[in-house]
Amino acid sequence: MKAPADLLLLPQWVVPVEPAGAYDSARAGSLSRSGSEYPCGALADHAVVVQDGRILDVLPADAAQARYAAVQTLALPGHALIPGLVNLHGHAAMSLFRGLADDLPLMDWLNQRIWPAEKQHVSEAFVRDGTLLAAAEMLSGGITACNDMYFFPQAAGEAYLQAGMRATLGMIVLEFPSAYAVDADDYLAKGLALRDELKDEPLLAFAFAPHAPYTIADATFDRINTLAEQLGLPIHTHIHETADEIRDSLTQYGVRPLERLARLGLLGPNFIGVHAVHVNDAEIELLAQHGCHVAHCPSSNLKLASGIAPMAQFAAAGVNVGFGTDGAASNNRLDLFAEMRLAALLAKGASGNAAVLPAAAALRAATLGAARALNLDDRIGSIVPGKRADLVAVDLHALSSQPVFDPVSHLVYVAGREHVTHVWVDGKLKLNDRRLVDLEPDDLAARAAYWRAKLTAQG
């Protein structure tokens, strides 16, 4: 008698990300290189079996059809099935600021345009609508999980749950008041209360999100560090994004920002440093020694003229890196396919070494690397039996993708988000043949138009 399953997926290639040796060969069949496995680790003519939101099995297609009786079987000829992409850094609600403040350096962008606009317009409704818009964009492009940092995280959480998307909600902290909170203590109190309320939601996780060293006092960092250790949560903060940030820190504190955080005890395996563009060799070694993670946001760094992060040096030191889109106000796309390709090309160009950040490493950073930084790599980031079924089907059969010598190379250097056809989160279909399942595009467009009118009218 065949074993039951909810879903049997039959792509042309399965790209598990984790090496074939991670599978139990007695269960999954022989995954040794025998013509069915590519040098990059893609498995030809294999199936992925899903049951109760989990990946039940990965095995040759013929064996899967003989072994399992699935409620639904979906053949995906010409497709690669990959783990859901994980956006390691973003400000989802800022999708409503897309194109509002272009072609400005970071501090002018913040001080002259973004912070004034936020002060005037950001509210629970703004965050809910902006996050829904961002979730639709991300899901349509194969992003199944994100690490979000913004005001009113409760409204963001409601939006992610409505969209059925996985998210780590940043408990944002600043020293100055906003429409959301009045001071650092208030930000922390509201963030912790939200975590207590939603910590059992299976699609939601939490992180402390102090904005940046230049907006957070030592005493606040001390408290965040203590709480993060007690609760086992990541600390997610912007760091060494610009040269000005470092100069200002030297003037105010007498040390560079990373050294300041190291002295405060914040560096460790739960630390996610966003951008990390202007780091020297000693600081890279410091990140590596403490097991820190870096959220690399190449498009945002280029658009704000912040610089190019030293990916070759991170790789050589063994620093775990994931990719982030940043917000749509500074990118202006929430597109991890674009970030993968750009990151790989920049790393080669900046280092003078064409072998730096090869395609398989770029895909790993966009999936398992980011999941590891969020302490979610036991649940998502690779196609391994037992993990949650966050999966993405990418169509590689178009003429512009032919011929396919190496599907992983194509995923990074050829494919774009427009090639994503199907997306599952926790085994639930969220994008079906390029159409969103749970979100209505016309409704989202109307919400965006409403906020555009408000922003245009009020400045």
Q: Helix, strand, or coil here: 274? A: strand
Indicate the burial class of 183 (C-beta count within 10 angstroms; 0-12, 13-18, 19 or more). Answer: middle
Q: Which sequence spans correspond to the domains of the chain? A: 3-83+382-426, 85-373
> DSSP characters for 62-100?
HHHHHHEEEEEEEEEEEEEEEEPEEEEEE-GGGGGGTTS
pLDDT at 21: 42
Assigned token pair, 262: 């190291």
Amino acid letter, 4: P
Assigned token pair, 398: 């178009």
Fold category of 85-373 in CATH = TIM Barrel (3.20.20)
Task: For residue 157, give every residue at least 6 positions away whose Cβ sits within 8 Å of its Cβ, in sequence order, or none.
Answer: 167, 169, 194, 198, 201, 204
Per-residue pLDDT averaged across 237-257, rounded? 97
Say if residues 57 and 28 touch (Cβ distance below 8 Å).
Answer: yes
- In which element (H, E) is residue 167 found? strand 166-173
Supply the pTM of this predicted model. Answer: 0.95
Tell the residue number behind the tokens 């395996």, with chain if given. Answer: 269
CATH number of 3-83+382-426: 2.30.40.10
Please check the confidence at residue 115 and state whether its pLDDT lies above 90: no
The answer to whether 3-83+382-426 and 85-373 have equal CATH topology is: no
Assigned token pair, 350: 């900046």
Amino acid letter, 218: D
Of residues 249 and 109, the one with the higher pLDDT is 249
Assigned token pair, 273: 């440093």
Tens digits of residue pLDDT in 78-94: 999 999 999 999 999 99
pLDDT at 459: 56
Tell the residue number behind the tokens 């190291």, with chain if given. Answer: 262
Please check the confidence at residue 20 and state whether its pLDDT lies above 70: no
Tens digits of residue pLDDT in 339-374: 999 999 999 999 999 999 999 999 999 999 999 999
From residue 351, give the alpha-carbon distance in Å to each of 37, 285, 308, 356, 432: 31, 18, 11, 8, 40
pLDDT at 309: 98
The radius of gyration computed from the CA coordinates of the chain, to the nearest angstrom, equals 22
pLDDT at 458: 65
Please check the confidence at residue 109 and state whether its pLDDT lies above 90: no
Task: For residue 345, give every residue at least 6 positions away whose Cβ sits within 8 Å of its Cβ, in sequence order, or none.
Answer: none
Q: Helix, strand, or coil here: 273? A: strand
Q: Helix, strand, or coil here: 182? A: coil
Tens digits of residue pLDDT in 35-45: 344 445 799 99
pLDDT confidence bin for 27, thresholds 50/70/90:
very low
